Amino acid sequence: MKKILIVDDEEVIRMLYGEELEEEGYEVVTAGSGHGLMEMIQREKPDLVILDIKMAEHDGLDLLQEIRKDFYNIPVILCSAYSSFKGDLKSIAADYYVVKSADLSELKQKIKMALEGQIPSQPSLK
């Protein structure tokens, strides 16, 4: 069973994603902030990380850089309510970028693709 780590400061999002992904057959662990995230990744050994960008205490793009430095082989999906971060150079380090929605079909599709090792096409910086 593949393990997914959800990092989001909104409890309702963690619960929604957790329930939906467990129904899809994934094991889910969650974190409400980036505090101790590297240690949690080391301990839990997730197969994939879903990372919010705008959190109260941490910047998800900075956390993404830390993850890439120490755990470069773990797929990371940035999941934000804002599409404006897609153009941020730091977001290029993510495997996929999904805009939050009540419909989780796109997120589920990107999770499947990331876990299967499909390489995303990088967005144009224009």
Kindly report the CATH number assigned to the domain that includes residue 53. 3.40.50.2300
Q: Domain range holding 105? A: 3-115
Cβ count within 10 A of residue 47: 17
pTM: 0.89
Q: What is the pLDDT of residue 11?
A: 96
- Mean pLDDT highest for which of 44-53, 92-101, 116-125? 44-53
- The number of folded domains in the chain is 1
